Amino acid sequence: MLTNKEQELISEIRRGNTRAYSVFVDQYKDLVFTLALRLLGNRDEAEEAAQDTFIKIFNALETFKGDSKVSTWVYRIAYNTCLDRIKKYKKERLHVDVDYIKEVAFSELDDALDKMMQAERTALINACLAKLPAEDAAVITLFYFEEKNLVEMEKTLGLSVNTIKVRLFRARKKLAATMEQSMEREMLDNNG
Amino acid sequence: MDKQEDKKWEEFLDRIMGEAPLESPSKDFTANILQKIETESAKAVYQYKPLLSKPVLVGVFIAFAALMAFVVLKFGGQSTEGWFDQLQWEPNFQPIWSWMEQYTSSNVLLYAVLLFGVLFFVQLPWLKKQLEQDLILK
């Protein structure tokens, strides 16, 4: 599962080479921070959670057997650290109930997105991801981080492939609904 | 789940997520982590480890209690047997403390000694805490 380069880097870290660990952190920090930000919805908290994640990884590296991809292992620790934080502070974000979401016409959404400037679009997407419940944001983010590999996602989330598929479907609908609501609100603000 | 519709949604999400860039943490993120790791390793060096671990202490206590029980049962069970009853329990302090008989102290001295004692026992836990913190910081 591990490439030679990864194996060398991990051996160096295990020997206590902190410089090697800084290379490891630099390699994964953006991915871990983005995942934490989408789960927690707050930069300060995400930074703390990402730091906790890397400290846990450093302490657990001795026991990493290499039976999954390093990235999958890193995401799993990051995901669990964020979930623990959510449980600890009992924070629940906007709850979008999929049963009450009206059917969103994706072609309309697509057109509306086309009309927006790139920067506006990115800001809107980030804002909507931040509004999703943590588990939905996680499932969508990890789907793309793991390059749509559901088997790797199974290891990260500890859920079966079928459950992940269902969650992904619901998360997509929630994201689309949140985007539509945000765009409607923006249009109302612009017009009135 | 309509497969056709699902595919369209997936394509839509591909487009959205393709435009959602990765976020970066603060500039000193990596340096902060390395500093924390080094602080934690330093803490581990100064971490208090008792000379005898808890299980060993419990074992010693049980062995001691068993030995005492054995001694009492074996040698001190009956009132006429064993060395336990031969002990003289009436201590005579007369010769040791006779010089104190004429001594009187003022109330002020008594209060001073009492206060000193109280402050001493208050300072003990406080000083212990301070010293431990200093060790951790170093």
Angstroms from B131 CA to nearest CA on chain A: 27
At residue A170, the 3 state secondary structure works out as helix
Q: Running along chain B, 138 residues long, what does each successive block of 10 average in pLDDT? A: 70 78 88 88 70 87 90 67 66 70 80 91 86 69
Q: What is the pLDDT of residues A133-191, one digit of tens each?
A: 888 888 888 888 888 888 888 888 888 889 998 888 888 888 888 888 877 776 666 66
Whether ipTM tops 0.90, in short, is no
- Measured in degrees and rounded to the nearest 5, phi and psi for residue B68 equal -60, -45
pLDDT score at B54? 87
B1 touches chain A (CB under 8 A): yes
pLDDT score at A1? 67
* The CATH number of the domain covering residues in A98-191: 1.10.10.10
Q: What is the pLDDT of residues B41-65, one digit of tens each?
A: 777 666 677 777 888 999 999 999 9
Segments making up each domain of chain A, as ranges: 4-89, 98-191
The answer to whether the CB atoms of A58 and B16 lie below 8 A apart is: no
pLDDT score at B41? 75
B25 touches chain A (CB under 8 A): yes
For chain A, give the percent of residues with pLDDT over 70: 84
A112 touches chain B (CB under 8 A): no
pLDDT score at A190? 64
Amino acid at A12: E
pLDDT score at B31? 92
What's the rounded Cα separation, in Å, for the pair B43 and B75? 51
A27 or B103: which leads in pLDDT:
A27
Please say whether the structural domain A4-89 has been given the CATH code 1.10.357.10.
no
Out of B13, B38, B40, whose CB is closest to A172?
Answer: B13
What's the rounded Cα separation, in Å, for the pair B115 and B100? 23
Q: Is the CB of residue B19 less than 8 Å from the CB of residue A122?
A: yes
Radius of gyration of chain B (CA): 36
The answer to whether the CB atoms of A22 and B34 lie below 8 A apart is: yes
Q: What is the pLDDT of residues A80-120, one digit of tens each?
A: 999 898 888 765 555 555 554 555 566 667 777 777 777 77
- Measured in degrees and rounded to the nearest 5, phi and psi for residue B88 equal -95, 115
pLDDT score at A100? 47
Out of B21, B25, B36, whose CB is closest to A47?
Answer: B25
Q: Which helix (H) or strand (E) holds A37?
A: helix A18-40
**Residue from A43, A52, A106 whose CB has the most chain B CBs within 10 Å, to mutate:** A106
Alpha-helical (H) ranges within B1-138 are 3-18, 29-46, 54-75, 94-97, 107-137
